A and B are shown apart, each in its own frame.
Chain A
């Protein structure tokens, strides 16, 4: 292929990785310090990274005429770009900027890992030469990406719930560690007075009391959205992912019927996707009950994302089946 075009491909990839790594660091710093200027730098970097990745995938398609999602490199690239896009959309709609650090860090890891599978420009094997690849794969990858964003929220929920619980039970050591971390990065003491993080409601009176008494870590935690809000944010992101995953399984079944003669063959990839669907269906059912919302549903969300990673990477790499195409 034309070396100039290869250079464009490489440049867009490098811009994406650089934007994600830098953006992750900046948004982590924003997460810790709440300085609005960091948000103003981090969010454009997230947008730049996702845009350059979409551009890179588009450029590959344009340069080779081959749909770029026929291998693990292409799909992982789309995965990280979609995860960042979903984060950006939710950040602007629901003030979720605080989760940008982990999302961008995971996107950078996914993209970095994708490059290890970048074999170059290969034509698609016969099984992948179908219009369904342009429908099924983007839908499934977008579902995976939204579950990744939900996973970050679930982890934050669990961490905050655990720390709030420590405050509730009066564990001084945790306060000391958290306050020490705060001191080490020279954060301002009066977090509550800083702008951003629209919801400052706390669910734990003990935390509010500690914050009012000047405990830096408690003030920092109080500045995060309440546990109830974090739970709703998770729910909203999963509510994007689950219908997409369902649609992905349905379109996959339609494609399978066209390619293999049966819409369901109990192939490891199909059943692993079914497993993920079951986990998130369980999440949704649990979420209908107020007493199960929160920690339990967050744990299910974490398990759900583990099942997604297993379905996406584990089955592709370690288990042979009908989806074991050339990576």
Chain B
């Protein structure tokens, strides 16, 4: 328990968490092992796969470190933060506290004591008086409640972790693509999405570097049928998801599916029975060959025969890749509607394109908890940083040469240096409001002795 509550231990865990996160940023996540073999030297690629660095955020090490941090926070909270009581009201040796000052004021000690107490009370300090051995002390506290800022921040962190766990336990997510005119079903809740139409807008924009084709809008016009069985019209855009019974459906991507027609010696032969999306392919019956549709080209530059810059389908084509077994045997850019010879009497025609819309969906019952946790964490940080709990010790005595001598000392939960200017302002304010003798003295002593 003591080890877990130890601040350097917690900081060490944060350092390990940071290091693992850095690895996750640098190493691309969730790729096939062959990707790492191609991108890194063989020993590093092997290391990435064997140590689970390709899926680091869900690895045992990553989750374990977060678990240890939560344990460390809990230990620190219960052994340090919660037990930290407001210090008892005890007399101190004023001169021994690094932030101290003495102000000479007129009048007797009793009246000066009352004036000083009223001075601090009027400025929002909680003033209490205690008598020790016949000497009356005045204690003034400010922001004592803010001692709980760290506790609040830790609670926020725990709430975020709890909300995330709720999603893992009860939530779901996925993605699907629907061709215009077709319907898809979300398997987890049976919601159906019929895509009536997908539209996009891409504008040519003149920049210093030339013409750039900037996407402006993606919009799916759909009919969504949820649990109630009633079809609802939905316009789904990026940043404007549709809520179907708590499951949010998002506009994620779009593409051009291709209707392929295959012939042999001029007669149709079986090919793909539905329009293919980018990355999909089909085998040519009776051969070892297969064709993959790699990507759509909106505009073929007729002067070069290469893909042009304009992604809009002005003079469209597609890039295909032929395979013999698993072995690539060649690729080509073919215009739409112009059959290409595949050899052995086969001809492939990319007859037409059909726009499709890609959606993501997600049901996350943990979001409210995560949201509350995030704002609790933020509130805890703000309390900790901007409300400094401070205590003033005030001892008013009759001065030898007449009048009274006000001894002031200050302490805070974050040391003395952070309060130095404020203390000087307080002393200055006391000096201004009190009829004082000229020999007021403010003393501060370095407190970071080893630095």
Residues of A within 8 A of B (CB): 94, 118-120, 122-123, 125-127, 129-130, 132, 161, 201, 203, 226-229, 231-232, 235, 239, 242-243, 246-247, 250, 253-255, 257-264, 266, 268, 271-272, 274-275, 278-279, 281-282, 284-295, 307, 310, 315, 319, 326
Instruction: Decide: A282 and B375 in contact? CB cutoff 8 A.
Output: no
Residue numbers in B under 8 Å from A286 (CB-CB) = 7, 11
Residue numbers in B under 8 Å from A260 (CB-CB) = 250, 252, 360
Asked whether any CB of chain A lies closer than 8 Å to the CB of B305, the reply is no
Instruction: Decide: A266 and B24 in contact? CB cutoff 8 A.
Output: yes
Instruction: Decide: A326 and B18 in contact? CB cutoff 8 A.
Output: no
Instruction: Decide: A123 and B216 in contact? CB cutoff 8 A.
Output: yes
Instruction: Decide: B25 and A268 in contact? CB cutoff 8 A.
Output: yes
For the complex, would chain A's binding face be called helix, strand, loop or mixed by DSSP majority? helix
CB distance from A308 to the nearest CB of B (A): 13
Asked whether any CB of chain A lies closer than 8 Å to the CB of B39, the reply is no
Rounded to whole angstroms, the CA-CA distance of A20 and B418 in the bound complex is 31
Sorted nearest first, the 10 A-B pairs with minimum C-beta distance are: A239-B385, A126-B238, A294-B451, A119-B207, A278-B18, A261-B250, A261-B362, A261-B360, A130-B239, A250-B374
- Which residues in window 6-29 of B have CB below 8 A to A? 7-8, 10-11, 14-15, 17-18, 21-22, 24-26, 29
Residue numbers in B under 8 Å from A120 (CB-CB) = 205-208
Instruction: Decide: A126 and B216 in contact? CB cutoff 8 A.
Output: yes
Contact among A129, A228, A266, A289 with B239 in the assembled complex (CB-CB below 8 Å): A129
Residues of B in contact (CB 8 Å), total 66
Rounded to whole angstroms, the CA-CA distance of A291 and B8 in the bound complex is 11
- Which residues in window 392-451 of B have CB below 8 A to A? 414-415, 417-418, 420-421, 444, 446-451
* Central interface residue in B29, B206, B370, B385, by most chain A CB within 10 Å: B385
Rounded to whole angstroms, the CA-CA distance of A226 and B420 in the bound complex is 12
B267-275, B285-293, B334-342, B376-384 - the one binding chain A: B376-384
The answer to whether A275 and B421 touch (CB under 8 A), given A231-B448, A259-B250, A260-B250, is no
Asked whether any CB of chain A lies closer than 8 Å to the CB of B95, the reply is no
Asked whether any CB of chain A lies closer than 8 Å to the CB of B139, the reply is no
Instruction: Decide: B237 and A126 in contact? CB cutoff 8 A.
Output: yes
Asked whether any CB of chain A lies closer than 8 Å to the CB of B188, the reply is no
Rounded to whole angstroms, the CA-CA distance of A232 and B14 in the bound complex is 23
Instruction: Decide: A258 and B241 in contact? CB cutoff 8 A.
Output: yes
CB distance from B277 to the nearest CB of A (A): 20
